[in-house]
Structure 1
Amino acid sequence: MTMAESAASRAEVLRTRDLVGWAVADPAGATVGTVSDLLIGRDGRVRFLAVKRGLLGSTVLIPVEELDWGEQSMRLNRWLDADVRRLPPYDGDRPLDGEVVAEMERAHPRFYGPPLPFDALENQGTPQIVPLREARGFRLPKDAPNLRGWTVFGEDNERVGVVEDMLVDPHLMKVMYLDVDVADDLFRLRDDRHVVVPMEFVELRERGEDAWVHVLTAREIAALPAYTGGALDPLIEKRVIQAFSRESSSPALPPEHQASLRPRESRVDLPPPPLPERHADESYPDERYPDEPPPLPRRSDADY
């Protein structure tokens, strides 16, 4: 430790340059990056720390409330390294004006939004909605179209982006959402913005390989909370459902216009039906397989 570093570690009031280079770790002790800058609001309060993730990694903003200060190091009090990876990159050349801050809070409510109630701080239970590629045993019908790459349009006929993937509920064996890669000109943050759209509000047009979203315009869809991959965060799902419900006088499209991508059932993927109880003579048809003939009657010893 140099003399300057020793003096900084004993100082009660630190300068910005004293903090640059401090390591930031998560609660498990994994290093997530180093401090590269401090961002101060017009009220004079430190709002964010800019944290550089590795030599070639991006810079992200971490709210100062999420950090515990130590001796020339900081520790996140809740977020893990995997959570920090979900943060949008920070561009130091662009000012954090009110619109950008509002978009951060809207797109990433778990990280930048107002304080959440206790029951929303953590994901509860086993993940239910997952990308199709991660759903074990899930199969689409053979004649179902592959929606990846289809163009997505909003209620105003403006282009939103393209379909990246489908999100499914393996327990219900149903496609629940489209993962939409949003066009860059519809938002201000410099991230690879994805949002999810409920299938019941989507109309598929196979001839043009288009997916038309009802109720919300293109910019309203782009303003939905960001989907950052993996199992769908219940908080994000709740905000998406609220957005469509607020703008819709009816819960969904009429059934004849809804996109239908129900998968085929499989005995391997679904739990087998319970075995029926047999009668003493076992001479009635098997109810599980009504097309099969009834079993042959038992033979007695006298028949041989």
Structure 2
Amino acid sequence: METGAITQYVDVAQLVLYAFWIFFAGLIYYLLRENHREGYPMDPGRANGPKTDGWPAVPKSKTYRLANGHEVLSPDPARADGDYQGEPVNGWIGAPLEPVGDPLLAGVGPGAWARRADVPDMTYEGEAKIVPLRVAGDHGVAVQDIDPRGLPVIGADREQAGVVSDLWVDKSEMMFRYLEVALPVGGSVLLPINFARIRKDGVQVHALLSDQFARVPATRHPEQITLLEEEKITAYYGAGTLYATPQRQEPML
């Protein structure tokens, strides 16, 4: 027999190959199982509707200790889903949800949001990660870019919704996340930077009409934003891309 042969039909290389196949199959199973810690079991959104565990089944809950000392459970059976106000357009499972009440705040379609932690995202040093420039004095707008502070914010109806009063910077990623918009009725709201088109003559926002800025969800702290508040604010503008006007829900042709 050749070197490494165990019998005439089995050798060490063959056993190593089989062992690799078994290991790789186990790795795939493990990764699929860990992937079910978030988003499962799937809920159809109907009372007494079927819940889908998928394959493999949802693993047992595991406790994770965060850098700030808090502990989270994943999956967490007691964790509440995001609130929404909607009803299915048909009786069959999986039918689209039609918003009830204010469609921008209904939490359905492009306005859906997840119930994230109601605490600010933090830097490695333990400071609030996203803050306005009036707090992060060591940050600023690049000289080659347009500084939007003082520019009017124009809604989809081409009417002025307010004026940019400040920018909120992500100190970890070194990029702007929000524009702070001062409203003519008083107070201010945040505008996610990805919904804004900054030009020399103003900031264009296609997602909302000018009067809809007044109902943007507010932050609890004037110079901080929590993960949950980020979800709700972004969802409001996302809902506007479909529900800001009745015409947006109709076919384009």
Q: TM-score higher than 0.5 here?
A: no
Of the two structures, which has the highest relative contact order with CA contacts closer than 8 Å and spacing of 6 or more?
Answer: 2
Rg comparison, structure with higher value: 1
TM-score (norm 2): 0.44
TM-score (norm 1): 0.37
